Amino acid sequence: MQAHSHLILGFLVKKSRVLLPFVALAATAFAVPAHADPLRAPLGTPPVEAAPAASSAHEGPTAFAAAAPDDGLVTGSATTEVAPGLNLTQFDRFDPAGWIRGDTLAVDLGSKVLKPTYLSPGTVSARTPLSQQVARAGAVAGVNGDFFDISATGAPIGVGIDHGQLQTAPAAGHNLTASITDDGKARLASIFLEATVTLPGGAVKATNFNSPVLGTDAIGVYTPLWGASGRATSVAGASRVREVELRDGVVTATREQPAAGPIAAGTTLLLAREAGADALAALKPGDPVDVAYAPRTDAGKIAVAVGGNEVLLRDGVVQPVDNVAMHPRTAVGFSADGRRMWLATVDGRQADSRGLTELELARHMKSLGADDAINLDGGARRRCSRATKARLRRASGTRRPTAGNASYPTGSASRPCRAAASSPASRPPPRWPPRTRTAC
């Protein structure tokens, strides 16, 4: 399966004045006593735009109910230090609903040797395996992040920020993120696009930045960071389309359909539909056009951000999320002071791991110590990767491309995944079914 580049978190490790990159999505390490409540033990909105199918199916009907405690058995749990301030815990458990297998990365954001970062294949619409993104960033661990436009462009659906620079931003509807501020604190943040296009006749608002889909009347801004994917599906079904090519603040070309291929260095494209296309219709080569854009949020200055789709915990309170559909899961959670982060992944749709509902995932994140938590893209299977000896558990037989991801040390994007402990014997397997592994 390929991993796609979306928002990702990473950490750099400092040693003897040398920065060693590390990648890992925020997940915590934990050990669960056999007598613990299984729903409290380590286990568990479609976009407004009419986009092609995203990377995870819609959940089943929402059924938020406090499930009665069930008997459960933790058959194995082992914790390994991946880097100073970054621990990996792997566990197996069994409860009346079946087997559960998962990993958590516990991150001390106060560590002076860790720095969160964004992982990606290099462009917004590119897709590469998670293991390659981890290697590209020089990271030690990585997990999936944002949901993405799996059927068409491959671009992330939500917001992405890397080193304070905007990578992607949709119109209203997919603005919730897991973010790291400039002062190193983690938090949930709603991030919006503030973009203005100044035309000869006045200014208009742009609605999207490097987005896979434009809604009715939208104006999207696209930069070379977009990559090689076509933009025709971004305006699928539009009654009127206009694409304007800019270089050095001057119109160099206009067309009624988006051009194919990557965007040339130094070039900015405006792609618009319906009323947005009408606003750009009078432009001609030689006209001056200024484009300004930036993220807007009340969360302070954001260094790294990756999109998610459901708040699982807010201020320590489990939110009314689905308790029906069991899938592979990935989530990120933060402590109340923003100094600790947990990245959790759980296998699903397998004989030896049934997956979790969103409600189970929320309770799992709370059991780790999270005060706030958000659901990330669990996809066809969860995956967690370490720089060495990475292992992958699949829910389906193929590896698929992903879009947004998180990591610790340098950036990278990937899907939920499991990182193998350094020693094959460090994680005791369940008695049944026997576990199998597939190398990333």
30-52 pLDDT per residue, tens: 223 333 333 333 333 333 333 33
Q: Pick from 33-37, 68-72, 94-98, 203-207 the range whose average pLDDT is largest.
A: 203-207
Instruction: Please tell me the predicted confidence (pLDDT) of residue 133.
Output: 80
Instruction: Please give the helix or strand (H or E) that residue 384 lies within, else none.
Output: strand 383-386
Burial of 377 (0-12, 13-18, 19+ CB in 10 A): buried
- pLDDT tier at 18, thresholds 50, 70, 90: very low
Which residues is 330 bridged to in the sheet?
345, 376
Given pLDDT bands bounded at 50, 70 and 90, which one contains residue 422? very low
Closest CA to 47 of 174, 207, 177, 170: 174
Closest among 58, 37, 36, 92 to 418, alpha carbons compared: 92
Average pLDDT value over all residues in the chain: 77
φ, ψ of residue 362 in degrees (nearest 5): -60, -45
What's the per-residue H, E or C state across 36-59?
CCCCCCCCCCCCCCCCCCCCCCCC
pLDDT score of 22: 28
**Amino acid symbol at 129:** P
pLDDT of 59 reads: 55
Residue type, 53: A
- Output the pLDDT for position 373: 97
Q: What is the mean pLDDT of the segment spanning 255-266?
A: 96
Q: Using an 8 Å Cβ cutoff, are 403 and 146 in contact? A: yes
Say what the pLDDT of residue 144 is.
83
Interacting residues of 184 by C-beta distance below 8 A, sequence separation 6+: 109, 110, 116
What does the alpha-carbon distance between residue 37 and residue 2 come to, in Å, rounded to a whole number? 36
Dist. CA 24–CA 106, nearest whole Å: 9
- The pLDDT assigned to 427 comes to 37
Model pLDDT for residues 345-383, shown as the tens digit of each residue: 999 999 999 999 999 999 999 999 999 999 999 865 545
- The residue-averaged pLDDT of 129-158 equals 85
- 98 pLDDT higher than 50: yes
Percent composition of the chain: helix, strand, coil (DSSP 3-state, to 5) = 10, 40, 50
Rounded Cα distance, 341 and 282, in Å: 50
| The CATH classification of domain 193-296, taken from the options 2.20.28, 2.60.120, 1.10.3110, 1.10.10 | 2.60.120
Asked whether 339 and 209 are in contact (CB, 8 A), the reply is no
Q: Is the pLDDT of residue 388 over 80?
A: no
Q: Identify the residue with better confidence: 93 or 63.
A: 93
For residue 165, give every residue at least 6 positions away whose Cβ sits within 8 Å of its Cβ, in sequence order, or none. none
For range 77-88, the mean pLDDT? 93
The whole-number pLDDT of residue 47 equals 35
The share of the chain scoring above pLDDT 90, in percent, equals: 57
Band of the pLDDT at 23, cuts 50, 70, 90? very low
pLDDT at residue number 405:
53
Q: Is the predicted pLDDT of residue 135 greater than 60, yes or no?
A: yes
Reported as half-sphere exposure (CB side, CA atoms, 13 A), residue 226 has a value of 30
Confidence band of 403 (pLDDT split at 50, 70, 90): very low
Residue with tokens 């991030």: 191
At 139 the pLDDT is 79
The winner for highest mean pLDDT among 16-20, 32-36, 317-321 is 317-321
What band does 167 get if pLDDT is binned at 50, 70 and 90? very high
**pTM (2 d.p.):** 0.77
What average pLDDT does the segment 87-116 reach?
Answer: 91
Q: What is the pLDDT of residue 65?
A: 45
Beta strands in 176-217 (DSSP E): 176-181, 186-190, 192-199, 202-206, 208-209
Give Cα separations from 77 to 41, 85, 275, 356 (angstroms). Answer: 12, 19, 57, 18
Question: What pLDDT, on a 0 to 100 scale, did the predictor assign at position 380?
Answer: 56
pLDDT band at 72 (very low <50, low <70, confident <90, very high): low
In the chain, list all ranges with CATH 2.60.120. Answer: 193-296
Mean pLDDT of 184-203: 96
Average pLDDT, stretch 418-435? Answer: 33
Q: Give the mean model confidence (pLDDT) for residues 160-168.
A: 94
Backbone angles phi, psi at 279, to 5 degrees: -65, -25
